[in-house]
Structure 1
Amino acid sequence: MTLATEWVRYGKNQEYIGYIAKMDRVKENLPAVIVIQEIWGVDEHIQDITERFAEAGYLAFAPDLYAKDGTREEELRTERVTEVKAFLDSLPHSVWNNPDEREQALRELEEEKQNRITKTFERMFGGINSSDYIEQLLAASSFLREEYEASKGQGVASVGFCMGGALSAQLACRDLKLKGAVIFYGNAPKDEDIKHIQCPVYGFYGEQDKRISDNVPHLAEQMQQNGKSFEYKIYQKTGHAFFNDTRASYNVSSARDAYQQVLQFFHQVLATETK
C-alpha cells in the first residue's frame, strides 16, 4: 500500500504548515500521531519518520515549527539549517558545545560562509525558546482531532526527538485530551507542570547522553508522586540522537527496540474511536 503525503495549512488563520502522511487506500478516519521535529526542522529524516508511522496505520503529521504563513525566516531556511548541520557534523561532537574550539573551526571557513553559519547557529541554539511552539502544537492537535477529515474524531498522541522530545512532554502538560506522549532524549517538563498531565508518557534515552539521562530518575519520581503514568528505557552504550539514522550517533539496536516499543505504546493509547 502506498502513502499519500502532502503539506497542509492549519491554525485559526491558516498561519501554520505541516507535513502529513497516511495510507492512500484507507478511507476510515485514523488515530493521529504528531511527530515533533529535532532542532534541524522538518527535514528528510523527520519526513521519513512521519511516513513510518503512516505505514504503521496512523495519520502522521509533522508541524514545521520554523514556518509562519507557509515560509521560514531567512536564518531558518532549510538550506541554512543544512549548512549548519554539515559544519557541525564535520567536527567531533565534543566541539559542538565548546565555543572556543567551534570558533576556531569557523575561522577556517571563507568569510561569507562563516557569517551565514554563525547567524543561523545563534538563531537555532540561542534564539529559540521551545515554549514558543506550544501554541502551534496545540493548534495541530486540535486540527487533527476536530478538523482534518482523515483523523477527525480520533485520538491524538505525540512523539518528539531532542528539542521535539521536550516539546512532546510540554504538550502533554498543556493538551488535556492528548492520548499519549513519547519523549526521545528530550528535557523533562518543569516539576510544577507535571501535575497537569492526563496521559501516559514513555521516554527513551541514551546512557551516554548524561545531560539528559541523568535527570530521568528525578522525572520518574515526580511523575510517580503526582500519580502519573511514566515508563522509560535508558539504553546502555548509547548516546544522544540514537534514533536518527542520518547521523553518526545512530544506534541500530537501540533504535530498533525503541521503535517496537513506541508502536506498542501507540497501539495501547490510540484505540480507534467512533465518530
Structure 2
Amino acid sequence: MRDEFDSLVPGRPLERPFSRRDFIATSAGAGFALATQPIMAQTAIHTEPAGLQAGRLRLPSALGEVEAYQARPEGAGAVLPVVLVVSEIFGVHEYIADICRRLARQGYLAIAPEIFARQGDPRQLDSVPEILERITARTPDAQVLSDLDACLDWAVQHGGDPTRLGITGFCYGGRITWLYAAHRSDLKAAVAWYGRLEGAVTPNTPRHPLDVVEALQAPVLGLYGGVDTGIPVESVDRMEAALGSAQALAAKASRIVMYDQAPHAFHADYRPSYRKEEAEDGWRRMLEWFRQHGL
C-alpha cells in the first residue's frame, strides 16, 4: 500500500503526503469547517488506501505547475481509464480525495486538481461568501479548463488510456463538468453532480452550461436535487428541454436525473445535506454511465 506517490511516476511530490489528519487539522477553525459542521460521523465514508497508489503531486501545465491528488489500483499493469474529479468551492479536501480512491477501487486512474490554487486556499477563509468573492469569482473558467487538460495529458503519459477519458464534478465542479464536455473532443463521458446551469456572464465566466449545449462533445449525465435552493427546478427543466431539442449528438445522448426530495450537495457525506439513498443511487448511475460509454 502506498499513499505518498513518491516514486510511482515522474512528477515532483509534496514534501509530505496528504492525510485525513491533515484534513481535520486544516479544517478546524477555518472556513471549511463552517460548511461541513456538524459532521455526521455515522454517514462519513472513508476509503482506505490499502491496495491503491494514491497521493498528491505537482505536474506541469500551460499556466505553471498544478497540484493534484491522484489514485489508481496498485500494481495495475494495463493502461487504465481516466476520470477527472472536479471539486466544490472548497478545493481538494478529504472528501474529494476519497472520491478519487473510490474510483480507483473501480479500476480507474482518478485525478483531482487544485483548481483554485492560483487564487488562494479556500480552506483558509472564514465563510462561504468570502470564498465565492475572493477565490471562485476570480478564477477564470479558461484557467480551470487548461489545468484539467494538463491533468488528463499527464494521466495519459503515466498509465492512462487516451481512448477512455471521463470527468465528474460536484457543485462548482458540476458546472465545470458541463463546460469541459463542450471543450475536450476526446472525452467519452461526463457526470455532473448538481452543477449550476446558468448565471451571470462575466469575463471569468463567459459561458454557462445552457450556453454550450450544441457544443457538447461527450454525453453528460446530470444529477440534481428537487429541493436544491441554489439551483431551481426551472433551471434544470430549461436544460432538459435544451438537450431534447439540440442537434448535437452528445447533447441528444445526455440525460438529467432529478431526485425530488434531495437538497444541494446530497452526495457530500461529510455534510448534513448528505442523503444516503440518493447518493448511492447517483454513484451507481455514474459508474453505469461511464461503462456504457466505454470507460
TM-score of the superposed pair, with normalisation by structure 1: 0.76
Runs of 4+ in 1 over 6 A off after TM superposition: none
The residue that corresponds to 1:203 in the other structure is 222
Query: Is 1:123 aligned with 2:123?
Result: no
Unaligned runs of 5+ in 2: 1-49, 198-207
The residue that corresponds to 2:256 in the other structure is 232
Rg larger in 1 or in 2? 1
Q: Choose from 239, 260, 269 the match for 1:219.
A: 239
Query: Is 1:4 aligned with 2:4?
Result: no
SS, match of residue 138 in structure 2: coil
Unaligned runs of 5+ in 1: 89-95, 97-117
CA displacement 1:151-207 (0-9 Å, x = unmatched): 043411000000000000000011111111111000223444221212111010110
Mapped to 1, the partners of 2:52 and 2:260 lie a distance apart of 35
The residue type paired with residue 253 of structure 1 is E
Mapped to 1, the partners of 2:278 and 2:160 lie a distance apart of 31
Give the superposition deviation at 1:77: 2.6
* Higher share of residues assigned helix: 1
The residue type paired with residue 234 of structure 2 is D
Q: Percent identity?
A: 27
Q: Choose from 109, 113, 124 the match for 1:80.
A: 124
Give the superposition deviation at 1:242: 0.5
**In 2 relative to 1, CA 244–190 (structure 1 residues): closer, same or farther, beyond 3 Å?**
closer
Mapped to 1, the partners of 2:286 and 2:225 lie a distance apart of 16
Mapped to 2, the partners of 1:202 and 1:3 lie a distance apart of 27
Mapped to 1, the partners of 2:229 and 2:122 lie a distance apart of 29
Mapped to 1, the partners of 2:123 and 2:196 lie a distance apart of 27
**In 2 relative to 1, CA 181–79 (structure 1 residues): closer, same or farther, beyond 3 Å?**
closer
**In 2 relative to 1, CA 238–79 (structure 1 residues): closer, same or farther, beyond 3 Å?**
closer
Corresponding pairs, count: 230
Query: Is 1:30 aligned with 2:80?
Result: yes
Give the superposition deviation at 1:233: 1.1
The residue that corresponds to 1:113 in the other structure is none
**In 2 relative to 1, CA 211–18 (structure 1 residues): closer, same or farther, beyond 3 Å?**
same
Alignment of structure 1 residues 167-182 onto 2, 5 Å: 167-182=176-191
Q: Choose from 89, 96, 99 the match for 1:46.
A: 96
SS, match of residue 223 in structure 1: helix
The residue that corresponds to 2:146 in the other structure is 135
Mapped to 1, the partners of 2:238 and 2:216 lie a distance apart of 16
Q: Is the 8 A contact 2:163 2:186 kept in 1?
A: no
Q: Is the 8 A contact 2:91 2:121 kept in 1?
A: no
Q: Is the 8 A contact 1:144 1:156 kept in 2?
A: no
The residue that corresponds to 2:271 in the other structure is 247
Give the superposition deviation at 1:133: 1.3
TM-score of the superposed pair, with normalisation by structure 2: 0.72
Query: Is 1:150 aligned with 2:159?
Result: yes
